[in-house]
Structures are given as structure tokens and as C-alpha cells.
């Protein structure tokens, strides 16, 4: 889905360990990887209509449409995710330049606000809150809209500028290459996204309570429905399919499960290294987007991770600062 985000804290049932067998998912992921290969090499569909490039850091309607007019861009976004393990929120500031109708280059600086729900060995519940700089990033976005099929691609690189002790950064340079195809059928827009990365994209569906490092593919398929010009709803299924060695850096480390060695990887200590199942994830998500003006987008969503038995509520607001400065009445 094109929203990733969180709103209010909700009380959910205690989390339990839910590590799936790799053998049981081999066929599914094999099929998904075949789909990935097909999509990664799909011919780039060209067209004359304007369209927004995919963005993992800002809402699609707020993100400037790719037009022939070259100009600078400035996007401010605040979003987050909340579940039983705590809240992960992010303030993201990005600036860039739009070159012609198909290319946008930008860079950004994220700042994280973490509130972890911690349980001590004696069973007492406490909270741990902190603010930290994340990994600065640069992105290249391509968009080739067409009435038959839209193709979009985004390549993101991140420098290890964030804190590793708090699980904000993996301490490694990371990349993500995401490709998307979609098509409008009246009010409906079905879509498919396929990506390759060496870390789970921090905005892929929801903000996770950990950072990962290791090769993986990520997939998402769903549909959006445009109710009216300013309101849309969407639903999708997602899968993260890692391979090889994986490292998990917890953002909610210190939870009591770390002392016993039970629970999901991000509750078993500050850092955990092991096989591909550590970073595996799958589930579904749903949400809605509200665009009261062309310069502002609001999103709210719900995600269910079946792998981690984790329910997450999300929110987000993205603001096109250039549009507001040019047209203060928006």
C-alpha cells in the first residue's frame, strides 16, 4: 500500500512467538521470486500523461507530479506505527529536483521518536522513550505512465548515520530497489510492487520495531478505490522473503522476553543474528487516504503481521511545502 504509518496506541493480546517454517513457505516465495524477476525486467511503459513517482517517504498525491516543468521539491512528513511493543514515529524532511516528466531526484534526513513498552525480569512494566537521527538517504524515482499500464521505479540508498545502539540503524549502507505496476479501471486501481533490498524498507507497509540487515525480496499486491477526489481506500497483502544471514537490531530491546530467549527476534535482545527466518514477514494491511488540498495528505491504516502475530495501527501526514509557499491559500 502507498501509506505506511500509525495513529493511536491500542491494547492488544500479548504477543507470542510465531516463527514460520521456511520449508512451509518455499513454494510461495519461489513463486513470488519468479514474479519479481518478471517485473524487474518488464519493459518501461512510456506515455504523455503526468503521474507521481512512487515514494516511500511521502504520500503519492503530495509528492510532486512529474511534469515537463523542472523545479525544486520540498516535502515534510510525520508518521508512525503503534502496537503492543510501543510506538515508532518519524519526522522526515526531503528536498529534491524534478527533471522533466519522468525523473525526480531527492534526499532526506529522518528523525525518529521511539517509545518502547518494556517488561522487566520481575514482571514490572515500564516505558523507554528516546529521539535519534536516522540514516540519511538519497533517492532516484522514475515514472512512465500509460493508459494501458503504469510503470514506476524507485532506487533508495541510505548511509549508516543513525544510532546502532538504539536499533535505528544497522550500521551498514543499505539499498532498496522497488518497482510498481498499476492500472486504473474506473474508480479501481489494482497494483503490484516488487523490490530487492539488503534491509527491510522502513516504510514498507508499517514501521517495524526493528531494523534488519541481509538480502531479501519484498512484495505487495492489492487495490485502491477512489471514493471521491479527496478520499481513497486501499487493501493489500505483503510478504518479505529473505535469504542468507540476517541481523535484527531491536528498537524495543530490553523487553523481558530477551532474558528468557523467547518471543520474536526483536524481543530477544539488542541484536540477533541468524538464518533467513529472522527477517521474514507476511500479512495484510488496509487503510484510507484523505487529501483535503493538493498540498496535504492524511493517511490512517491497520496492518496485521501473521508471521509475528502483531497488529499495528498507523497514521501519517505529508505536506508539499513548495506548493504551500507558492500558493499560501492551499
Is 164 a residue whose pLDDT tops 50?
Answer: yes
- Of the pLDDT bands very low, low, confident and very high (cuts 50, 70, 90), residue 233 is very high
How confident is the model over 138-164, as a mean pLDDT? 93
The better pLDDT of the pair 251, 236 is held by: 236
How confident is the model over 51-69, as a mean pLDDT? 45
* Model pLDDT, residue 70: 85
Is 265 exposed, middle or buried, given 0-12, 13-18 or 19+ CB atoms closer than 10 A? buried
| pLDDT, averaged across the chain | 79
Query: For 264-306, how does the pLDDT look when each residue is reduced to its tens digit (9 = 90+)?
Result: 777 766 788 889 888 999 999 999 999 998 899 999 999 999 9
* Model pLDDT, residue 262: 54
Q: Select, from the ranges 24-33, 145-154, 199-208, 212-221, the one with the highest average predicted confidence (pLDDT).
A: 212-221
Strand pairing report for 188-197 and 174-182: antiparallel
- Secondary structure string (H, E, C) spanning 181-243: EECCECCEEEEEEEEEECCCCCCCCCCCCEEEECCEEEEEEEEEEEEECCEEEEEEEEEEEEC
- Determine which of 26-30, 154-158, 324-328 has the lowest per-residue pLDDT on average: 26-30
* Model pLDDT, residue 69: 74
What percent of the chain is predicted at pLDDT more than 70?
A: 72
- Determine which of 17-31, 137-151, 207-221, 280-294 has the lowest per-residue pLDDT on average: 17-31
**Sequence-distant (≥ 6) Cβ neighbours of residue 328 within 8 angstroms:** none
The pTM of the full predicted model, rounded to 2 decimals, is: 0.76
Rounded to the nearest angstrom, the gap between the alpha carbon of residue 236 and the centroid of all alpha carbons in its chain is 13
The grid cell for 119 is 517488561
The region that residue 295 occupies, defined by phi over 0 for left and psi between -120 and 50 for alpha, beta otherwise, is alpha
**What's the rounded Cα separation, in Å, for the pair 119 and 81?**
20
Is 3 a residue whose pLDDT tops 60?
Answer: no
* Model pLDDT, residue 6: 32
Domains in the chain (CATH in brackets) are 22-326 (2.40.160.40)
Amino acid at each position: 500500500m502507498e501509506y505506511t504509518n500509525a495513529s493511536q496506541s491500542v491494547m492488544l493480546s500479548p504477543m507470542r512467538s510465531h516463527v514460520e517454517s521456511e520449508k512451509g513457505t518455499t513454494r510461495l516465495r519461489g513463486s513470488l521470486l519468479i514474479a519479481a524477476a518478471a517485473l524487474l525486467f518488464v519493459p518501461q511503459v512510456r506515455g504523455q500523461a503526468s503521474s507521481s513517482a512512487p515514494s516511500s517517504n511521502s504520500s503519492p498525491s503530495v509528492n510532486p507530479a512529474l511534469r515537463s516543468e523542472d523545479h525544486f521539491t520540498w516535502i515534510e512528513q510525520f508518521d508512525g506505527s503503534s502496537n503492543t511493543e510501543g510506538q515508532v514515529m518519524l519526522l522526515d524532511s526531503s528536498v529534491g529536483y524534478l527533471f522533466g516528466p519522468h525523473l525526480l531526484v531527492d534526499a532526506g534526513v529522518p528523525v525518529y521518536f521511539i517509545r518502547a513498552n518494556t517488561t522487566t525480569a520481575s514482571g514490572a512494566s515500564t516505558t523507554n522513550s528516546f529521539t535519534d537521527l536516522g540514516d540519511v538517504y538519497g533517492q532516484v524515482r522514475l515514472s512512465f505512465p500509460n493508459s494501458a499500464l503504469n510503470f514506476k521505479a524507485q532506487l533508495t540508498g541510505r548511509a549508516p548515520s543513525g544510532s546502532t545502539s538504539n536499533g535505528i540503524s544497522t550500521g551498514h549502507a543499505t539499498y532498496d530497489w522497488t518497482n510498481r505496476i498499476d492500472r486504473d479501471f474506473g474508480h479501481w486501481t489494482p497494483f503490484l510492487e516488487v523490490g530487492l533490498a539488503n534491509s527491510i524498507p522502513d516504510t514498507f507497509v508499517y514501521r517495524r520495531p526493528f531494523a534488519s540487515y541481509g538480502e531479501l525480496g519484498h512484495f505487495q499486491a492489492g487495490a485502491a478505490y477512489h471514493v471521491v477526489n479527496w478520499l481513497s481506500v486501499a487493501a493489500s497483502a505483503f510478504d518479505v522473503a529473505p535469504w542468507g544471514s540476517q541481523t535484527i537490531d531491536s528498537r524495543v530491546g530490553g523487553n523481558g522476553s530477551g532474558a528468557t530467549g523467547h518471543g520474536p527476534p526483536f524481543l530477544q535482545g539488542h541484536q540477533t543474528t541468524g538464518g533467513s527466518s529472522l527477517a521474514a514477514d507476511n500479512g495484510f494491511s488496509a487503510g484510507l487516504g484523505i487529501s483535503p488540498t493538493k498540498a496535504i495528505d492524511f493517511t490512517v491504516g491497520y496492518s496485521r503481521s501473521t508471521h509475528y502475530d502483531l497488529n499495528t495501527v498507523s497514521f501519517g501526514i505529508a505536506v508539499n511545502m513548495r506548493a504551500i509557499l507558492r500558493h499560501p491559500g492551499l
